[in-house]
Amino acid sequence: MQELDSYVAVGDSFTEGLDDPAPHGGYLGWADRLAAMISSRQRGFRYANLAIRGRLLQAIVEEQVPVAVALKPSLVTFCAGGNDLLMPGADPDAVAEVYEIAVAELRATGAEVVIFTGFDPRHAPVLRSLRGKVAIYNSHLWSVAERYNCKVVDLWSMTVLHDIRAWGPDRLHLAPEGHQRVALRVAELLGHEQEEQWRTPWPVVAEDDWMTQRRQDLKWAREHVVPFITRHLRGASLGDGVVPKRPELLPISSGENN
């Protein structure tokens, strides 16, 4: 098991924790869950989460990466670029170039850096059209990980996340169980395995008929995907006015995630 005394999470809504409501308001998410897992076994452990929903990669690099570098943690998780790829005309090669600059800065501190591939959108209506761009971006991330000796959480290969139950109503953010699966996967990668397993199959349930699924897909695209793209084309974001939920390295108090 790797000894970690401090952890900083960097990213967007995925890392902030949408749609995983915290018991006392705000959001929990896989990063908070992971930090609690590590803290339960590591005395003196401290955790910060700088992630803000809706952030594009360049903003994350400019706003969050310098803070993470200054905090000098032993572990950084860095997941970003997904919002960029959702934008019309996005170039995964160009996005990856910016991503690599950030990884180089984070690794230069001596921190262990864990990065994440994009999800496989094959099972998501509308988003499946982005599958080629995500695959190209992922290939760059694997190369970056090799060059800078980073651990990689391969979200693309996590087939348990292909189930609709892993996702919140907007299908853009994980539901609580989806966040838990990701936290368990990262913990395993770091050698902090838990009794609960991220690979555990979902219970078998009856599926809706084809017509019902198509109606739901159209409703979802109209209510969630179109507004997301429209906001960003206007230069607006869900994260406007939002500040990091945990900007400093602090111990995790008992019962904080309960």
Q: What is the mean pLDDT of each run of 10 residues along the chain (258 residues)?
A: 86 96 93 96 95 96 98 98 92 98 98 97 82 97 98 97 89 93 97 91 68 60 66 64 93 72
Task: Quote the pLDDT of residue 210.
Answer: 47
List the Cα angle 64/70/72 in 5-degree steps: 110
The amino acid at residue 154 is: D
SS3 10: strand
Q: Which residues have C-beta within 8 Å of that of residue 65, sequence separation ≥ 6?
A: 10, 102, 105, 106
Task: Quote the pLDDT of residue 6.
Answer: 98
In a domain, 129, yes or no: yes
In a domain, 256, yes or no: no
In a domain, 248, yes or no: no
User: Measured on CA atoms in the order 201, 206, 210, 211, is the torsion positive or negative?
Assistant: negative
Q: What is the pTM of this model?
A: 0.88
Q: Do the Cβ atoms of 72 and 33 come closer than 8 Å?
A: no
CATH number (domain holding residue 61): 3.40.50.1110
In a domain, 219, yes or no: no
In a domain, 215, yes or no: no
CB atoms closer than 10 angstroms to residue 38: 23
Tell me how far apart the alpha carbons of residues 234 and 63 are, in angstroms, rounded to a whole number: 21
In a domain, 226, yes or no: no
Q: How far is CA 236 from CA 87, 230, 241, in A?
A: 13, 8, 11
In a domain, 170, yes or no: yes
Q: How far is CA 207 from CA 95, 150, 210, 211, in A?
A: 37, 39, 9, 11
Task: Quote the pLDDT of residue 223.
Answer: 62
For residue 17, give its domain range.
6-198
Q: Which residues have C-beta within 8 Å of that of residue 41, sequence separation ≥ 6?
A: 1, 192
* Number of domains forming the structure of the chain: 1
Q: How far is CA 220 from CA 43, 128, 165, 178, in A?
A: 44, 14, 15, 19
Tokens 């991330």 belong to residue: 141
Tell me how far apart the alpha carbons of residues 219 and 94 are, in angstroms, rounded to a whole number: 32
In a domain, 258, yes or no: no
* Token couple for 11: 């990213």
